[in-house]
Amino acid sequence: MCDLKQSRYEQAHMKTTLSLWSIFKAPFWLFVVSLAGIMLALFVDSTWDWLATLLVSSAVAIPVFFYLRAKFS
């Protein structure tokens, strides 16, 4: 647990400057997934709507995850 906290701290306060791709890798994939969900819901109906909703809700789940992690770690 202590090691995990330590690594998170190090991760959060890196001494080196991150590359452009390192900064935007996660946001890029999140953008693609949530946009895919928004568009998918236009082309499908009924049960497939849930898959679309799930994809869009990644934009909700990720900040909630980091909020909870910051709050309770």
Binding site for other proteins (CB under 8 A): 11-18, 20, 23-27, 30-32, 34-35, 38, 41-45, 49-50, 52-53, 56-57, 59-60, 62-63, 65-67, 69-71
* CB 50 to other proteins: min, Å: 6
DSSP labels for the chain? -HHHHHHHHHHHT-SSPPPHHHHHHHHHHHHHHHHHHHHHHHH--THHHHHHHHHHTHHHHHHHHHHHHHHH-
Residue placing its CB nearer to other proteins in the complex, 4 or 14: 14
Residue placing its CB nearer to other proteins in the complex, 6 or 49: 49
